[in-house]
Amino acid sequence: MVVDTQLSDDEVDRIFRALADATRRDIVRRTLTAQASVSELAGAYAMSFAAVQKHVSVLEEAGLVSKRTQGRERLVTANPASIAHARALLDQYELLWRSRIDRLDGLLADG
């Protein structure tokens, strides 16, 4: 079974590296339902504004969120399409492993 992600290896690496951090996963979760300013996001964490801004930048580089300027605020919105690509990749890996387990079960039952 071939895993076709429609993403380059570098893009997949950036997505999963970005999602490896709990704060970044929480930022994605918060911005899936509504956009939030970087200031609003920073208020939710026990870290500096600059640290939250860096987390947002990592997510933006991975394509998981987009940031736009409105007046003096920078608004962050999650990108569901990139999240769907990551989920599709994980679904394909699950199918791959399930098929291998099924084949192993078949070999053990025959043996």
Question: Could you state, in order of their start, the residue ranges of all structural domains in the chain?
Answer: 9-110
Tens digit of each residue's pLDDT (9 = 90 or more) over 35-46: 999 999 999 999
Whole-model pTM: value is 0.80
pLDDT at site 5: 47
What is the CATH code for 9-110?
Answer: 1.10.10.10
Tens digit of each residue's pLDDT (9 = 90 or more) over 49-91: 999 999 999 999 999 999 999 999 999 999 999 888 888 888 9
Helical segments of 37-110, H only: 38-43, 49-61, 80-110
Q: What is the dihedral of CA 66, 57, 59, 54, to 10 degrees?
A: -140
Q: Are 85 and 51 in contact (CB under 8 A)?
A: no
